[in-house]
Structure 1
Amino acid sequence: MEPGSQIAHRYQIIRLLGEGGMASVYLARDLQTGQDVSVKLLRVELENDAASKKRFKHDARRAIDLQNEHIVKLLDAGEADSQPFIVMEYVPGMDLKHFLKLNHPLPIATAVQLMQQIVEGMVVAHQHGVIHRDLKPQNILVGADNQIKITDFGIATALGQNELTQTNSLVGSIHYLSPEQGRGGLATPQSDVYALGIILFELLTGQVPFQGENTIAIAMKHFQTPMPSMRDWRPEIPQALDNVVQKATAKQPQDRYQDASEMATDLATVLNKKRAREPKFAVATECDDMTRPLDVEQIRQATDQLRTQIKATRPLDATIPPASVRSKRRKWPWLVGVSLLGLGLLGGGGYWYFNQPVQVPDVTGESLESARQSLASRRLKVGDVHQRYSKQIAAGEVMAIDGPLQRHRGQSIDLTVSRGVKSYQIGYYTGERYRNVADSLRKKGFVVHQETQYSADYDRGMIIKQSLPVGEVAHPGSDTITLTVSAGKDEVKLPNFKNQSVNQVLSFANQHGLPLTIMTTHSDTVANNHVVSQQVKAGHSLTRGDSLVVTIASENDAEKTTNVQLTIPYDKRHRENQVQIYVRDMNHNYRTPYQTLTITSDQTVTLPLKLKNNSTGSYRVVRDGRTILSANNIN
């Protein structure tokens, strides 16, 4: 899209940030809030792909529930002119890949601290049943103070089958792809854990563990080649830290951490001195427990062998019974054997059937009854049903599938079902202590913003006003509450104005919000329009809003012009400020504005006051309906 283009009449494109296999990402301006945001748009060639569009929207709906400081916040999602879009917070900085190029080698403690942030974000994702599936440094942003933000949740999944047909779409990910994903199997939390282990390896060594001429060669190394030790590159790396990588990247998913939470627990103590002599990690067992169909030919051969052994053990001098008896005796062992064989095959076939892995259908967004039917079609059933509030999923619809997405026939699947949007009625917070109110609101899930303002009526830390009115029904997670908090009285220490010009005093008064009152007197020692004295002595203080009173020297001219220069401050809370300036002199009064302005930044104006016969003038500046500057007795 071209700069200046708008999406949904709200987001104005500034520039392209990057392009991926499925989407393009732009920096944009939210015209409602004035904030910079990132907007992700589905690629043009996928706009007519119904499956891609459906997954794009579906994954956006799931990702919006992921609230964590280490996950890029999803702000909005929708469709404009048949083109799906996702709006996310904009994170100034760089991706982790670029960060490593600029900062390698990282100190071990720094690498661990960065990794802990990444894993913490993935803990929240796994708790919500969300699998990233495409974790890599390019999808991890590093902001100010090395603050980590994970992005691109669900985008790799949204490609589905298409990601194999997009040219080079897997090149950027193959270095971090788990063996089961490379074989075309289902991604699980352990698949994300594998990618986390590769990322930790790269953080500490500056390179990925497996290189190759093409994606196939790299994938084969993921399947077969043992994970190298980071200590081969950096011997100072503790064995306990190398063990985290070795366990996270085990070839079999069951030998890895079961999810990010388990990995986070291990990572938290990895630099502890108590683990200094930790032995090398070793997979507990190499046994292949995969369920396989029984081989009928092997069973037949084993039966023949057993029959031969029985014949060989028969006594040579045993009395041979009559033929009719032998015939009868020969029949029943064969009948028993065949029956046992049939039962064995039947039991083995049944065991094989019920232990075949099946993919759990994606029932998120369906009603509970519909989910039951979808699961039943795969010979699965609904297990425990948990409920959770959601601002995106309607009440009664499935929010998440709990547990792995690959099960065996007949197993129960636990589901999380939406209770709908949680809401609260806004109370009256003015006059309450900000810390107490903010803590209470945040525990309920609200985002609370603080603004400060000087006040002579409220003590420091007390709430002056609130953005949401009393009694309004608000929803945590979607509604933001802004509380304006008193910074106490704004005390202004006065300098010595003696011999300063009236314009210098006016500039000081405007800067500190002090209405100026000017008295006049005759002086033989002070120049005309310069200060002779001040009512409040130098070194003492006034509170913002108090009048600053000075006496200036004045000549009794019949008529004169006094030029008053003042700066009108811009209120950044509004895009534009409407300003009216009122002047009282020989030619003007306060009934009509002397000048009307629309300002978008601080603006300096000069007011020429026509005065005579030792008369005085005055002015008043009104911004958005409120008087912000004024002065009286100007001569």
Structure 2
Amino acid sequence: MTLQDPLIGCVLDGRYRVDARVAVGGMATVYRALDMRLDRVLALKVMHPALATDAAFVERFIREAKSAAGLDHPNIVGVTDQGTDGGYVYLAMEYVAGCTLRDVLRESGALQPRAVLDILEPVLAGLGAAHRGGLVHRDVKPENVLIGDDGRVKIADFGLVRGVDGQTSATTGSLLGTVSYLAPEQIQSGPLGPFTDVYACGVMLYEMLTGTKPHRGETPAQVLLAHVQSEMPLPSALVSGLPAELDGLVARAAARDPQLRPADAAVFLSMVRAARSRLTDAQLDAFPYQALVRPGPAAPADATGFTGSGSGSGPGSGPDDVTSVVPLPAVAVPPAEAPMERTAVIEVEPGGIPGPPPPGAVPGAAGEPPAGEPPARRGGPSRRALFSLLGLVLVALGAGAGVWYINSGQFLRTPGVLALTEKEARRTLERAGLGVEVEYAFSGTVEKGRVIETDPERGERVRRNAVITVVVSRGPEVVQVPDLAGVPLGEAKRLLTEAGLTPGEEEGRFHPAIARGAVIATDPAIGTELRPDTPVDLVVSRGAEVEVPDVLGLPEGTAQQRLREAGFEVEVAAGRVFSEFPAGAVAEQDPAGDSRAGEGETVTLAISKGPEMVVVPDVRGLGEDDAVRVLEDAGFEVSVQRFFFTGTVFNQSVREPDSAPKGSTITIFVR
């Protein structure tokens, strides 16, 4: 029977309505709540009532609010408020809809290097901001790495945060942290600093690459001892084929000597990015097959007195994961409601973490009878009961494996093969257990023979043996200029457009064999390879070269007949014009007579309406110069005949009221 959480439905401080429980940790429970004042969803972290009476824990809880509230970074969960209501002490913080890194590791196990670095980099960016602000997180672990539904990664739970210049060593005989991720200096009461968080990030990096933790043991004390005495194993020892760059990152970050580690998260982030730049897409997207088929060593059930689902539930969790108020070598942990890594205070016996047994000591449980004495019969289950229990465990494991296969084992993430050659992409996908179907497409940006895209895309979840469509570049798309010689102009333009080219400028030329209006040639020439939509100029035939007859002054009918006999079309301009030619005769033609034109081209004619008649001004009595000026202004030519030298006009050939054709010659007589 599940008991209702008494806080659900309550309103804290008259403002925060508690709607649902999200998670239970070692120090507090996290709820989804509604800020009724601002009408927004947020997370409420409420200290366990048993700890709310402990002044030290309350002080630490409030310190988290003050320190985290001062951190403003997109990769840090923001804290907006802190308060108390009756016996409840709470923090109000940003609500991140999504999952934790622990959820991802529990479902997927080892991750591809690209996914690992995509998670690690924002974690380091957030921690780097805290380190620049003089703060150390001290409890970095997958449970405190939140991955939102939108893909954003944030670091949460600054509950153990300390100022770098404040109390940075354990002096009370207690360890506060998570066993699997504690740095040696935390265990040995040494000075702490940003390098302490870097160590935990190195452990997380190993776990993401391999699907298991580097140090495991039957008790938390054994795990702590391994942190202090054992070098960090290299992930490639468990997952062969991992690049040396990733081994190097783990070795540097999780070095036992703090001075050998990167000084802070920002320095480690620079190292991670530099290593990533040296990895190929194939290395980044390599699938960790061995991590799927080679499980890590199983921890004995209830080896340290854990109860509930927090004890060894799911891949990557075990007794060494859960952290609570733990005296060494015995461990006592509050019951867990969810498979979480819990923050713990570990009571250290005087003298620190026990070392290895002295020479000659017989390994075994404390209290074993001396050699030679018969062991006392221990109370406990019979052999048959043990076999029955073992059978149930095996059945449960088989059922769990079946559920894993149905829900996760049948699926994998599509490896990234963009920009790989066709051969490399095929090999990568087939090694991942996927089928390959290749298609080809033109690309102006991807080199010929390399992958443009895949369907499904990189990172999408697909069934094993699914067929991945790989689109390979054929290089930039090119089209050839078609053969258009002799093709009529309209048809030639259509063919160019269908070929993916654009008709360009047109130039007419005479050609003795190609009919007028058909294409003689193209520029660029036939067969030239061009990018799509490139303009192609056309040389168009004007037909055979023919001399144009001169028909000026001829009657309209006669002129048209002569032009058609010469092979031309005739067009008569609308309206008639004054000219020197008689009315009805050709006054103008285009092209002009005796010029060259193409056979079949059109000659335009303008027909005369006769000369324009103008009244001739009377200039008698005017001086010679004035008389010439008046007549020319009226549109006439002037001829002068002189008899004497006085220079006065005494007569003219035509005068008012008579008219003469405009442009005709008027004679004046001067004496």
- TM category (shorter chain) comes to 0.3 to 0.5
Normalised by the length of structure 2, the TM-score is: 0.39
Normalised by the length of structure 1, the TM-score is: 0.41
Greater Rg over alpha carbons, structure: 2
